[in-house]
Amino acid sequence: MKEIAAKAMVKIEDLSVHFGETKAVEHVNLTVAPGEILGIVGESGSGKSVTALTLMGLVADSAKMISGRILFEDTVLAESGKPRDKALYRRFQGEQMTMVFQEPMTSLNPTKRVGAQVEEMLLLHTQLTREERYQKVCESFQAVGLKNPEKVYRAYPHQLSGGMRQRAMIAMATILHPKLIVADEPTTALDVTIQNQIIELLRKINQKEKNAMIFITHDLNLARRLCHRIAVMQNGHVVECRGTQEVFADPKEEYTRRLIEAVPSRMKPKIKIQRSNREPVAVVEHLNVYYHDGGGLLSRKSRQQVIRDADFTIYRGEVLGLVGESGCGKSTLSKALLGMNRDIEGEIRHFSTRPQMIFQDPYSSLNPCKTIEWLLTEPLRAAGEIDPAFKMSAADRRAEAHDMLRKVGLDEKYLDRRPSQLSGGQRQRISIGQALITKPGLVIADEPVSALDVTLQAQIMELMRRLQDEMHMAYLFISHDINVVYQMSDRIMVMKDGQIVEQGETEEIFRAPKDPYTQLLLQES
Amino acid sequence: MQYRMTKLIGKKLITLIMTLFLVSVAAFLAFQIIPGDVVNAILGTEATPEREAKLREELGLNDPPVVRYLHWIGGVLHGDLGRSYRYSKSMNEMLPVAELIGDKLPVTLWLAALAVFFIVVVSIPLGVFWAQGKSHFLDAFLNVLTQSVMAVPSFFLGILVTYLFGMVLKWFQPGGYVSYQKDFAGFLKYLVFPAISVAIPKIAMTARFLRNSMLTEKTSDYVRTAKSKGCTDRQVMYGHVLRNAMMPVVTFLGMIIAEIVAGSIVVEQVFGLPGVGRLLISSISNRDFPVVEILILYITAVVIVVYFLVDLLYRVIDPRIREM
Amino acid sequence: MGKLQRIMKKLHNKSPYFWIGLFMSSVAVVWAVLGFFWTPCSTTAMSAAERFQAPSWGHLFGTDNFGRDIFSRVMKGASTTVLVGLLVVLFSGGFGVLIGALTGYFGGILDELVMRFVDAVNGFPSILLALVMISVLGSGRHNLILSLGIVFTPSFIRIVRSEFIRLRDADYISRARLMGVKKIRILFVHILPNILSTFSVSVMIGFNNAILAESGMSYLGIGVLPPDASLGNMLSDAQGYLMRAPWYAMAPGLTIVWIVLGFSLLSEGIRRNAGEVRGL
């Protein structure tokens, strides 16, 4: 490691970046050498993106460099106390260092052809003729595994799939063979199978071009698979920066250890299951669900089948996991189960009252203009209008709300706050409380931890399990992340293109997956 | 692609004609339910019953409404726009609406065209300049300035322009007008100040709209991508941001043009221009319904055609919509 | 943090646009309300001896061609204009919320039909539509309020409807449905409070448009008719004496500008506070 550090190509020395009062990055030292992939790992708000953007000269103008400097080979790109030298940066941006962003859809200009956007690199930095440029762009598309490069050249971003767009972005970033490529969460917006292709592509490029690469991610597993060295960031500081193997084998810092432990993994012992008597809460038989598109006065309705012949039972007190990639019909299935989608064939029988739902995004699942107390009492009030068993006085409702708030691990000072005053994790706690306060027999949790950082993920999952022990409801736990599902579930269903391809006991499926798609999913993650 | 485009235009054209048809029915019906008898309105209350009956027969008022509508719309399609109740050609012949409108149309159209020209020429550079955010002070100044300008009603603006440029500076003769048939250059010269009055508030609106649209676009991810390629600020602005920011502005300009057609009604009154707007007002006051009907149809047609063109233009510049 | 402190902090964070706008619009409203009950001089008393007097302490804005006190007439006119604007906004805003909420939340054929109509009407310049309505209904203050109210309703429907469509599929509304909350309560207790800031901004813009339309039509002589004082018809009278008594035109004109500018600054302040810079 020492040798690499000695011939480091990019050096970030004692970098501190503040946005007004917020200290985004504090005294960060990092180096990258040619041929090396450095992973920067951290949760949201840890300063990893700000560090990368500052290095690239792309950080917002409101950011202030408080201390340190950035060196690219022997050139000082930026130094604290000096204004950003945009002209100097432009000599490096695009030609010497490039960046791949998280959202390939929004990172490409929606009204320019993909080819023209890649070609702009050549226009800005080379003297090639028109034909040569076209040739070169097509070659670069081929190199990143885009079949039919002429077609991609002429396409607009919205005409390509997410994976293809990200390949085009990578083609753009590599076309001039830069010495440094910074990839900021390049696979986060993509499905697992595509994610792996992109990771392999980045690895291939790194091996062929021997350039330096900085790979920013919140996902320790990804960093582990791709990076030579890993820098762990927390609250703007680099807490640990060592070789990948060493970090995982023997994490020095408490925070790193927590991070590694929080990552859902099949290596770890599962949370213990206690199976009660097999009493069903919901039975689904031969369920077909259709989705309607459009349908106005002038346009004809198109009816698409989303779910094909689903057959399963959820039992009291268990967690049934449902795993699949985006667009496979997981959410449609959950909506049908809750009666929110009416166009169905087959049978859904509920043996419990008022199934509830926990949503993915804690920011949109709580009414922003209400107080926490209102949010927790409203379900009881609504239930009281339907079911005499829930008829109670306003004071009783408040008492129940206070009780629930404690159960989800928050105290009473939150009662008169509004959702905007809470953090993401706190909101998800309220969201869970809101779903459970009417004691439903079945709770559908649609990606309840996907929007959260790993350490929070672990806490929320534990909270859900603990509340289940107390209240004995069943969960249908939906996730795209097979490791998260493994951690939570007693039984698992795997879904692909609207069909349940495999279901069974969690351990069994992980030990001996029968369906080829399940095998693929298990391999990839 | 080509085929789809043609089919789409065809479809839009059918909707366009349908809308015009509906408006013609609505315009016709609206004036059938108006209280008060047309015949009385023309002849006054002291006419003899015989004369009234004769006029009623002449105007076809004894026919059922459907027949009258078909008669009217048939005439309109053949260029016979009906006859004014109010203005007469000679003692016993009412003036055809077509003749009445004929020499007023160019005034309104040229006024609108000039105003649109001013709007486009001034507001787009202004909006682009403003969006660069050179200084905080300039930003606040332009903000307050445009807000204030937008608060001035068009007729008061017309009066201010008349007072300042017509009476104090004497750059033009208030109330003067030269027919376009006699002296086209002089005609345009007289339209300049009315057109400016129409344009000023719209310039403020459009510039604000464009500026906001550009500021929104500037925060997009693709702008960051362009910068990471090494584009200069100018290259980012003109190569990436402007086109995307212009898209909502095109729709906005379409609405503005429709507004101008109506806005000129008031401004024609202020400057005493013999345009369609003034005719509309006097016809409404005089309850001269054949004229009002035709003017409504005409303004509708202009508005619909403008929207049709804007829609096509939008499809040309936005590839995402073109596909649909 | 105490409640009072929080409110103070909230007020402290408001933009200067908010404060200037609040000042200007409150002055306008107070002036208009006052003018409804009391004016310093009579608005109708004529005096040949006092024709075309320039602004002085006795007549702040001078006198007109009949020797009437312009200040008093502007006060009266402002109260007419503000009252018309208010009634128009109440009418169109009320129907807009009702129809927009129902069509936006439930959708379906009714929504489709209403929207076709709304789109057709919205495409047209509002003053033209109001003119047509007036020519059918006849001139006068009541018909003016009715026609402007009808003409402005579609734009409110459109705004409210699009907000309801945006929110009806929000997770927290799906959740309210799951809880079994009654539809009417979802509409007006769960959704409506969330659109209030958007709605209040569009109410102010609508109020401004109503004032501009009212004064425009009164200027053309088909809105509020004399002898009722209205800022529009005062301007129309004043135009003939522009050379001789420019203050006669400036007083009502600048009053309109003051009112409209006050409310647009206020709405911009509110919008900036809500942290959204979109559209106009």
Predicted confidence (pLDDT) per residue in A164-185, tens digit: 999 999 999 999 999 999 999 9
What is the per-residue pLDDT across C36-89, written as a single tens digit (0 to 9) for each? 887 777 777 666 667 767 777 766 777 777 777 778 888 888 998 999 999 999
Sheet holding A302-315, edge to edge: A302-315, A280-293, A344-350
pLDDT reported for residue A312: 92
Q: B84-97 as b/e, with b when 16 or more CB fall inside 10 Å? A: bbbbeeeeeebbbb
Instruction: Report whether A214 contacts A182 (CB < 8 A).
Output: yes
Instruction: Name all chains with 3 or more CB-CB pairs below 8 Å to chain C.
Output: A, B
CB contact C176 to A (< 8 Å): yes
Residue C137's identity, in one-letter code, is L
Q: How far is A84 from chain C, CA to nearest CA, in Å?
A: 28
CB contact A366 to C (< 8 Å): yes
Residue of C nearest to B208 (CA): C280
Residue C219 CA to residue C238 CA, distance in Å, equals: 10
Residue B39 clears pLDDT 80, i.e. is over it: no
What is the per-residue pLDDT across C241-255, written as a single tens digit (0 to 9) for each? 877 778 888 888 999
Mutate: best of C166, C171, C188, partner A, most A CBs <10 A: C171
CB contact B286 to C (< 8 Å): no
Residue indicated by tokens 């009634």: C87
Instruction: Nearest by CB to B148, from C249, C261, C278: name it.
Output: C261
Instruction: Nearest by CB to A365, from C171, C179, C193: name it.
Output: C171
pLDDT band, very low/low/confident/very high, at A100 (cuts 50, 70, 90): very high
Helices (H), C50-182: 70-106, 108-123, 126-137, 141-168, 171-179
Q: Which residues of B touch A (CB under 8 A)?
A: 220-222, 224-233, 235, 239-240, 243-244, 247, 317-320, 323
CATH number at residue C220: 1.10.3720.10
Q: Is there a contact between C116 and A297 if contact means CB atoms under 8 Å apart?
A: yes
Beta strands per DSSP E along A105-200: 180-184
Collect all residues of chain B within an 8 Å Cβ-Cβ radius of residue A56. 228
Q: What are phi and psi of B6, to 5 degrees?
A: -60, -45
Q: Give residue A227's region: left, alpha or beta (phi > 0; psi -120 to 50).
A: beta
Residue A442 clears pLDDT 80, i.e. is over it: yes
SS3 A500: strand
Q: Report, as an integer, the average pLDDT of B39-49.
A: 66
pLDDT reported for residue B120: 92
SS3 A327: coil
Residue A160 CA to residue A157 CA, distance in Å, equals: 6
- The encoded tokens of residue B276 equal 């369609």
Residue A274 clears pLDDT 70, i.e. is over it: no
pLDDT band, very low/low/confident/very high, at B47 (cuts 50, 70, 90): low
Residue indicated by tokens 């960093």: A223
Q: How far is B294 from chain C, CA to nearest CA, in Å?
A: 12
Mutate: best of B21, B159, B173, B304, partner C, most C CBs <10 A: B159
pLDDT reported for residue B22: 82
Between A17-21, A501-505, B170-174, C74-78, the lowest mean confidence (pLDDT) is in B170-174
**Tally of domains within chain C:** 1
- The encoded tokens of residue B26 equal 């609505």
Q: For residue C165, is it within any domain?
A: yes
- The encoded tokens of residue A195 equal 């994610």
Residue C279 clears pLDDT 60, i.e. is over it: no
Q: How far is CA A410 from CA A430, A449, A463, B179, B301, in A?
A: 9, 18, 12, 80, 63
In terms of C-beta density within 10 A (0-12 exposed, 13-18 middle, 19 or more buried), how is residue B161 classed?
A: buried
Provide the sign of the torsion angle of the four alpha carbons A19, A23, A29, A31, taken in this order. negative
Residue A49 CA to residue A60 CA, distance in Å, equals: 12
CB atoms closer than 10 angstroms to residue C18: 20
CB contact A385 to C (< 8 Å): yes
Q: Report, as an integer, the average pLDDT of A383-392.
A: 87
Collect all residues of chain C within an 8 Å Cβ-Cβ radius of residue B174. 242
Q: For residue C253, is it within any domain?
A: yes
Q: For residue C49, is it within any domain?
A: no
Predicted ipTM > 0.85: no
Helices (H), B44-150: 49-59, 65-77, 97-102, 105-131, 136-150
Residue of C nearest to A381 (CA): C181
Q: For residue C38, is it within any domain?
A: no
- Which residues neighbour C178 within 8 Å (Cβ) at sequence distance 6 or greater? A338, A340, A354, A355, A356, A357
Instruction: Nearest by CB to A382, from C109, C172, C180: name it.
Output: C180
My answer on whether omega of the bond before C227 falls inside 30° of 0, hence cis, is yes
Collect all residues of chain C within an 8 Å Cβ-Cβ radius of residue B27. 132
pLDDT reported for residue C276: 43
Q: For residue C251, is it within any domain?
A: yes
Q: Is there a contact between B229 and A107 if contact means CB atoms under 8 Å apart?
A: no
Instruction: Nearest by CB to A90, from B224, B230, B320: name it.
Output: B230
Q: What are phi and psi of A70, to 5 degrees?
A: -125, 125
pLDDT reported for residue C275: 53
Residue B129 CA to residue B132 CA, distance in Å, equals: 6
In terms of C-beta density within 10 A (0-12 exposed, 13-18 middle, 19 or more buried), how is residue A203 classed?
A: middle
Three-state helix/strand/coil letters over A281-321: EEEEEEEEEEEEECCCCCCCCEEEEEEEEEEEEEECCCEEE
CB atoms closer than 10 angstroms to residue B185: 8
Provide the angle, in degrees to the nearest 10, between the axes of the packed helices B289-317 and C126-137: 160
pLDDT reported for residue C223: 76
Residue B88 clears pLDDT 80, i.e. is over it: no
pLDDT reported for residue A300: 54
- The encoded tokens of residue A124 equal 């800005």
pLDDT band, very low/low/confident/very high, at A341 (cuts 50, 70, 90): confident
What is the Rg, in whole angstroms, of the alpha carbon atoms belonging to chain B? Answer: 25
Q: What are phi and psi of B291, to 5 degrees?
A: -70, -45
What is the per-residue pLDDT across C173-202, written as a single tens digit (0 to 9) for each? 999 999 989 999 999 999 999 998 888 889
Q: Report, as an integer, the average pLDDT of C76-103.
A: 93
Beta strands per DSSP E along A97-185: 97-100, 180-184
HSE of A272, CA atoms in CB hemisphere, 13 A: 3
Q: Report, as an integer, the average pLDDT of B137-143.
A: 89
Higher pLDDT, B203 or B72: B203
SS3 C46: coil
Q: Is there a contact between B159 and C243 if contact means CB atoms under 8 Å apart?
A: no
> Pairing relation of β-strands A237-243 and A229-234?
antiparallel
| Residue C103, domain extent | 58-278
Residue C63 is given by DSSP the state B
- The encoded tokens of residue A262 equal 């929080």
pLDDT reported for residue A293: 63
Residue A62: which of A13, A101, A21 has the closest Cα?
A21
Q: What are phi and psi of C157, to 5 degrees?
A: -55, -45
pLDDT reported for residue A363: 84
Q: For residue C140, is it within any domain?
A: yes
Q: Report, as an integer, the average pLDDT of A94-120.
A: 91
Residue indicated by tokens 């159209």: B109
- Which residues neighbour B261 within 8 Å (Cβ) at sequence distance 6 or greater? B108, B112, B299, B302, B303, C125, C128
Q: How far is A59 from chain B, CA to nearest CA, in Å?
A: 9
pLDDT reported for residue A292: 73
Q: C246-255 as b/e, with b when 16 or more CB fall inside 10 Å? A: bbbbbbbbbb
Q: For residue C32, is it within any domain?
A: no
Instruction: Name all chains with 3 or more CB-CB pairs below 8 Å to chain A.
Output: B, C
Q: Is there a contact between B212 and C279 if contact means CB atoms under 8 Å apart?
A: yes
Q: What are phi and psi of C277, to 5 degrees?
A: -120, 90
Q: Is there a contact between B320 and A110 if contact means CB atoms under 8 Å apart?
A: yes
Instruction: Report whether C106 contacts C163 (CB < 8 A).
Output: no
Higher pLDDT, B187 or A477: A477
Mutate: best of A86, A111, A170, partner B, most B CBs <10 A: A111
To 10 degrees, the CA torsion angle through A525, A49, A152, B312? Answer: 130
Residue B228 CA to residue A108 CA, distance in Å, equals: 12
Residue B179 CA to residue B172 CA, distance in Å, equals: 15
- The encoded tokens of residue A488 equal 């939570």
pLDDT reported for residue C278: 35
Instruction: Nearest by CB to A158, from B225, B243, B320: name it.
Output: B320
What is the per-residue pLDDT across A256-270, written as a single tens digit (0 to 9) for each? 888 888 777 665 555
Q: Is there a contact between B281 and C257 if contact means CB atoms under 8 Å apart?
A: no
Q: Report, as an integer, the average pLDDT of A221-235.
A: 91
Q: For residue C268, is it within any domain?
A: yes
Annotate B217-230 with DSSP letters as a single string. HHTSHHHHHHHHTT
Instruction: Report whether A240 contacts A258 (CB < 8 A).
Output: no
